[in-house]
Structure 1
Amino acid sequence: MGLERRVSGGSFRLAQARAEYFRLMQQGVSSREACRRVGVDPRRGKMWRNGRVPKPRGGRAEVSGRFLSESERVHIADRCRERAGVRVIARELGRDPSTVSRELRRNCQQNGAYRPHGAHARARARRPRPKRGKIARDGRLRQVVETKLGHQWSPEQIAAYLRRRFPGQPDRHVVHETIYQAMYHRHRGRLRQHSCRQLRSGRRRRRSRRETRQRQHFFVTPSVMLDHRPAEAADRAVPGHWEGDLLIGRNNATAIITLVERTTRYVTLVALPWGQTPQHVNTALRRSLARVPRHLTRTLTWDQGSELAYHEEFTARTGIPVFFCDAASPWQRGSNENTNRLLRQYFPKGTDPPRQQTQLTDIARELNTRPRKTLNWDTPKHRWTTLLTSK
């Protein structure tokens, strides 16, 4: 048949190919085979099935069926003059009542008259993209967002802060996706150049999904696995259960200990100036947790790294049992893994974390004073201080 060669040029030709494509699909022909027969790329067939009609060469793009057509607006005008209700008109058009109600609310004139052709023209004028977003239009809002990004806040933290900072100004409330688009699409927000570098990831381009990376594990003989950890630690109801790991520097030459309390998400960073051998890790861990009240040091969860090979000695001296995660299961220490990811903003891969404890203490203080979504936008420091003063 004539459509079996590659379709090119003209909206009529594409419309004919599209009709033939759906006829073949109704007969049980696969999408790929139907595209081959009508002479279009399989990606175009997928767009047709999803209700998207691309703009053909040399012609005007067809409007998606989810928008009201001019004939539908004429029907709305005629039925409004006959005093028909919104739900009746929507039923006749096969539309949702809110669609008809919104159309009348947007395009009725001051005297209540509805002009369908003028409404259609205004709707077409509103449709083109891109449009200037809230951040681009509001200089004060843009300044607040840039300031918080400079303090290394995440877009989700900034979005929650804006609702509290401007409670009676909904025009200055944005979702975190709006901030992301303002950084990655300059016409949407016009944030400062290279603002995306201030994100945790530091990516200059967005990714559709996170790439999975496998890390090498060094196993020890664990005394107790995670299955035997008390149930109170799993549901985070009782404070005092910690997660720990090492954050490794360049060429595995340097490292620091990262500890996170599971209930409050309170972060403690411990320097390892003399090395990361099991002896050094054991000593640094004992000294760090010795400063914490005994009722807030119930358990410690670690991965199967060889740096905690002396876990039995650690438990004997501190009374804190150590539980080991399963192999290749980082989600079993989710709070600690998330903290390590936050710390990579301070110590990117390929760099060395500081050896001085004072610098690490300052960084931990900055992390603990950030509002956290999982804490209902409270800060870990406030939760931890409450625990210390309640006993």
Structure 2
Amino acid sequence: MLETPKTPSPLRIYREAEKIEFLEAFERLGKVSLAAREVGLHPASCYRWLVDAGIDAKKHSRARRAEYFRLREAGIARVDAARQTGLNIRTAIDWDQRIEHASNRRVYPDGRVIDYNKEVPVLSEARQRLLLPLVERQLDPRYLSLVDREKIRDLSATGASIRSIARTLLRAPSTISRELRRNQTDAGSYEPYAAHRTAAERRPRPKDIKLVRGSRLREYVQKKLQIRWSPEQICHALIWTCMPKGPTRMYLLS
């Protein structure tokens, strides 16, 4: 029996107000996918509007990022820098923490990759193996770098005191003392590369999974995702409350 040919869906005609709403959202959020999701439109259509308007999405994003970090380096607070660049505060926090976004994945500076397309955020096995270039990269000035650890080893070998090493590196004596105590090898010596890798391996600190299958929280999140709520909207709708019998916490779902 011949199948009845399907009638093609009519092309949707977008109103000018929808285009303006998207462009305003893009100016504020800086990403096509986020702006399209906010106004409830398809990203492909929205991207075409940017092309028609002569807007380079990637160049726009790079310029905004550069301006945000310029303000931060000038001593502007995160909230103020985000407001001046029209940036969402959640994105500003990610930028400060050097978290990169790729599709539905979040790539952390320590190599973790969280993929939100999967049922449960997992660590990529390839990323769990800390590669040397990644380990050597300094994440933030507050962390000891590999160069710092080499100086600690060299100064310790000359018999310098902890306070003397701390003055040289402009660090607190407790930082040097803790570094020498926690990151020694099994033989009791201090090796900068081994110490740096050991410190990097401590960073991920994996947490227990909260979205356990069959739990009220998981069911709630799934329902909201099905009606196209964003993770940020779901997060804001969840209210923390303390149990009366102790410090255990649960989610009170509204």
Greater Cα radius of gyration, structure 1 or 2 = 1
- What TM-score, normalized by structure 2, do the two folds share? 0.40
Structure number with higher relative contact order (C-alpha < 8 Å, ≥ 6 residues apart)? 1
